[in-house]
Amino acid sequence: MKIIECPRDAMQGLEQFIPTTQKVRYINQLLKIGFDTIDFGSFVSPKAIPQLRDTAEVLEQLEWEKSISKLLAIVANTRGAEDASHFDAITYLGFPLSISETFQKRNTNKSITEALNTIHEIQNICVRSNKKLVTYISMGFGNPYGDPYDKDVVGEFVGILHTLGCEIISLADTIGVSTPENIRYLFTSLSTVYPALELGVHLHSTPVTALEKIEAAYQAGCKRFDGAIKGYGGCPMAKDDLTGNLATETVLFYLEQNNVHTGLNAEAFAEALLMADEIFPKH
């Protein structure tokens, strides 16, 4: 079971800038817990995501060599991928591919066709620099723009990504519209067709529906969950009222109830929960 903690997603939409020292302190605490991966920052334009303009500076101060966790950085173009690829500390480059044309343009200023070409280029950068690409299928469960959506289209996109050499794909519910039924359908059908693919979920949810979504993914065989402590965050490019991430503690609660051993350091996790209240502005 892989648990991916996403402080980058928790922070990116906040208007109030979190000081670099605070980011470093928080992420260093997360590195003590034992998560498989920390989605810690992004190499994108500061104009697009001003909150993460200090990602390189944060990275220089992370105690990643003491941790079993790997670091993931989000990129939106080949320039960002090239920049991120020069850091030994980074294992994964993440790229958001939307099946909504509107959102792809809003999120990365590209058409879907251009984004697929970018993925091909980023994949080559990853091979050259010994990194791994994680592709997120944004708006993977529907979109608010009226763009065409069909579950079979998701399968077509996964097939294209598979031919491009992508080995890790996360189904992203960017606005929280997924249901247990379509989570179960997509995960089951895709994992059957592509059994060698590492398939995960990056779900956004209200607290009320979080457990049923986690259960649907887990029962369908998911072994890769993205979350953010206390459910902070969402996508600032999607809409104004952010739907939060799955709370990591809710994911862990469900797994513990089903006797799934995560191997995480409970004491270090408890400390991170307390620290999150200091790091994130009160709403």
CATH number for the domain harbouring residue 220: 3.20.20.70
Contact by Cβ (8 Å): 71, 91: yes
* pLDDT the model gives residue 236: 44
Instruction: State the average pLDDT over residues 95-108.
Output: 92
Residue 238 has pLDDT above 80, yes or no: no
Which structural domain, as residue segments, surrounds residue 70? 2-279
Give the tens place of pLDDT for each residue, 174-186.
Answer: 788 899 999 999 9
What total of structural domains would you count in the chain? 1
